[in-house]
Chain A
């Protein structure tokens, strides 16, 4: 069949902002300056169409004649004036979302089905300007496409020849359906099997598996079932997946031998001792914690009719390789955790936190084989933006942190909160009700080799034929359709339970759900595939996106599948939940795996890890600087960690669903940085949800206990500032650590493990003191880069996300000064704590004392008083102090409110130096402004000892900070704001 191709391009008079943006990115990322670019979209179609049909498709679907023009065939390559061109398309087998939508659109017009594989989209970039061959390749590979998932071809008018998009034919999977793996081999051979098959199983684990297969009872049973005595590849992959660090959290479950000086202790299990330990203790006094640590997300009671759930995940490695795709699957993946909680919740907010190397990193300092942090930043941001926006979920909270330690691996945290009725058809919504006999239904997308064993680099050219297993491709719209369908099916009582297919695919989701009934059977050939040629183990492990596994009672299957079809959602019965005690897989009727569920879930031998704490020395330090603080403040404000992220945040939809009453950026010009998100959950009620987070990896350089204390303190403090009721707070812990297991590659493993223990101890102490239990969490433990003797490890990082209920959102106070003549108070104590501060980082000073939360009980009592102050409506503004300390918080409150301020910091104590008063990052502090009519009531409620009067707002254009010796800072609002506002515009 002759391939049909339509090329579409904007008419010249309408311009093309995308092309302009692409030229700018090329210049920024590669330094190559080109004079012009014309971009065309192409649709390559392998479908028999009559000439009339072809015209109809072109005119009604592909080309908008108001502003576009079109050609048939490879026309523009001959017609346009250009020096060179690059055509970009997805590799064979990679999901082509535009191609799929085009096929759907064609079917609407033609009134008949069009196979997804019969349409492939591509883009052609026609450049004018000079570029050598190497430069052209650089443009293609660094800007226009990601070679993991896309191919490109560079051509000129002379060298052009048409591209065949439809020659690739994958082969069907034939027998044998599995390999048999002999484990009766030497230790070295066992390790080699694990490495060659990318199972990531340790020698001890391989031996434990061998012991299982040596059991007489297992041998006899396998013989009876017609399985070989030795394990099949399907079974080994199941072990590899279920026992992976990602799924099993072996480090948090390990037995730790911890030494600090002469003190030694043994911790049986970090997770159970500290994280679950503190939550269990708090749970005794709270009745709003409905479901903890057992489902995809923790569930908390919201009111008498509704509950909410929250989950935060990391997607670091995928985002390092494919920033756009990795981050997008991060956000839509955590959305699915929420959709798959209990009987299903509807996502109502996202929160996104990133850590990157500095955007100003010199090229030669970027580790070999990795992308420049600016490119990772841009890609990650775009992925999260598209994922969130297209799903219709507002991004209401987040932050971006920069540090050289993230050059080796970016950290990408994606979180989502969801809302669910407390009862669904008379059942508690936060439980699952799966019964033996229920059918396993897989919903959503098709299965490909996506994400199997992570990424493998590929260098095939545009027309070469090979599916890539590299990375996952997200399609938010497929997922949105599935979400709407599942909510409809939930309310109609069509299923008994569901869960997300994320990491580990079906192996993980069915492996987990099988525990409800103690068994499951899968018929893998019934899974819909993107293309032929997948082996049974690949079908089981694929991380292809937008899929959920649902348990549907037999008598509901027909109506469930019928509704799925009406809602344009793929759904197929692929097996059954059983009570056999086994996870059994078949392919075309042949048994390919059968494993004891108990062995799979409880048989891991576990780890023993040593930890040795040697406290870094902390001594008070100071710079030699005695004047010019105004200039320093301006430089500090323009540093990436402090500077405005508005340019990026404004690209997120932060108010779809009409709930966001505290927006990420607010102020007189709508451009000041809020302390967190507040949602008015229902339009006719004033109850709300507050979302905040804390993260300061810098402090880990000195002490992870205080890093953790600060992080929890900050998140809780912000939640209180934004009106959360202190009795309703809950937290989520996300640890991202470098590998903490001592080995040749990690000679400082015992120290890193001790850092983890100390962090967990602080989490235990502070979650109890702040009545803020962890309801869910996730860890990512091997965030190191190694190549050619070079190693970059991330700073030990904890993201602590807090949510709480606001009893009355109409009492919410924003952070910026509103009017002149208001009293400015500082709540909390300022101490000589510049260690690891943004100010000392700027000056390159490594010494100093880390910010320390002294007395958590006393601090929380103060926060409760602050909550009283807010309830009484006594404040005009309240702003959290964080990076850059008092001077930065004051500047932000002033310039965001177009309101001058004059303060005297001598009241903070003569024992402090000027720079400590200005820039110390002592925790537990809040800058507030108060009308003099409320001053007395404010002081009585907060307590005289907790607040100190600093000065007043005024109608000048200046921020003025005085000390006993005179003026330290006097700068105009505009001067302070300018550098802050534009530093990250790129």
Chain B
């Protein structure tokens, strides 16, 4: 049976359709659900194995990106989401979705505390930018990242600089293997802007919770689901892995 993915939308989320495409192409069955409908019918979440927080501009990024959407979840659905995670199901937050789950404390959630200790703030460049970046997969213990070493995908954000509350938090992230993805260069040369597009500490592009079943990342794997979405595919470039492999991993996890 195909695993079922619940993809949240509403309030300015805008990348839900391609996230559904990605899950569908990977062999899951994606359903787009308005957050309000899930709040009204909380039990619905039990029908799903995967929960997706897509990208977008929920509430216009007013106050801080992801903050108001996170509050809506926190004050209405937090127990259900925690139970979902505790049941070893999978959660992914991409771009604005990463901002939401970070502000909600789903990642890194040291000792399952759900305490927010990292945040995503204005890019050092001060600009929203759409550009493709190379990523090193730092650890593949997360079900989302199994077998992946390197990825090439776009970032599209103005608030993606990952900061940790203090150095202890950063060290603990590293020690726990919760640093999932780091910005890198094609040829291994030193990572500077724009290879690290936002100034993230330790070039972090994505992190997981301690167990690895919750992944948050700024880049958009769902934007690279066919080979023609690569910016230079007309040269005949065919990557070994595309963004689609992340979603295939999620499907494989439930097989």
Contact = CB atoms under 8 A, between A and B. Distances in A.
Contacts of A667: 232
Interface in B37-86: 37, 40, 55-57, 59-64, 67-68, 71-72, 74-76
B124 A108 contact: no
Given A661-B229, A670-B232, A809-B228, A61 B68 contact: yes
A651 B123 CA distance: 12
B129 interface: yes
Contacts of A810: 228
Interface in A1-21: 10, 14-18, 20-21
Given A98-B63, A661-B229, A814-B234, A568 B11 contact: yes
Interface string A367-404: 00000000000000000010001111000000000000
B229 A666 contact: no
Contact of A680 (B22, B128, B226, B234): B226
Q: Is the interface of B mostly helix, strand, loop or mixed?
A: mixed
Interface stretch (B114-122, B177-185, B206-214): B114-122
Contacts of A15: 124
> Max chain A CB contacts within 10 Å: which of B72, B123, B154, B231?
B231
A17 B163 CA distance: 14
Contact size range, A: 35 or more
Given A18-B126, A66-B163, A67-B163, A391 B156 contact: no
A655 B36 contact: no
A7 to B, nearest CB: 13
A917 interface: no
B253 interface: no
A667 B132 CA distance: 12
Interface string B123-166: 11111111110000000000000000000001010000001110
B240 interface: no
A21 B126 contact: yes
Contacts of B174: none
Contacts of B63: 61-62, 98, 101-102, 105
B17 interface: yes
A59 to B, nearest CB: 11
B223 A658 contact: yes
A656 B156 contact: yes
B249 interface: no
Contacts of A98: 60, 62-63
B34 interface: yes
B228 A680 contact: yes
A61 B71 contact: yes
A553 to B, nearest CB: 24
Contacts of B165: 65-67
Nearest to A680: B228
Interface in A637-672: 650-658, 660-663, 666-668, 670
B130 A652 contact: yes
Contacts of A871: none
Contacts of A65: 116, 165
B156 A658 contact: no
Nearest to A16: B122
A567 B62 contact: no
A683 to B, nearest CB: 5
A564 to B, nearest CB: 12
A650 B233 CA distance: 19
A102 B71 CA distance: 11
A656 B72 CA distance: 25
B205 interface: no
Contacts of B11: 477, 481, 568
B97 to A, nearest CB: 13
B111 interface: no
Interface in A335-363: none
B130 A108 contact: no
A598 interface: no
A480 interface: yes
B222 interface: yes
A189 interface: no
Contacts of B37: 566
A64 B116 contact: yes
B12 A108 contact: no
> Max chain B CB contacts within 10 Å: which of A64, A484, A661?
A64
11 contacts: A17-B199, A64-B116, A105-B67, A391-B14, A481-B10, A566-B40, A568-B10, A655-B229, A658-B17, A658-B18, A670-B232
Interface of A: 10, 14-18, 20-21, 60-62, 64-67, 97-98, 101-102, 104-105, 108-109, 111, 385, 389-392, 475-477, 480-481, 484, 566-568, 650-658, 660-663, 666-668, 670, 680, 683-684, 809-810, 812-814, 818
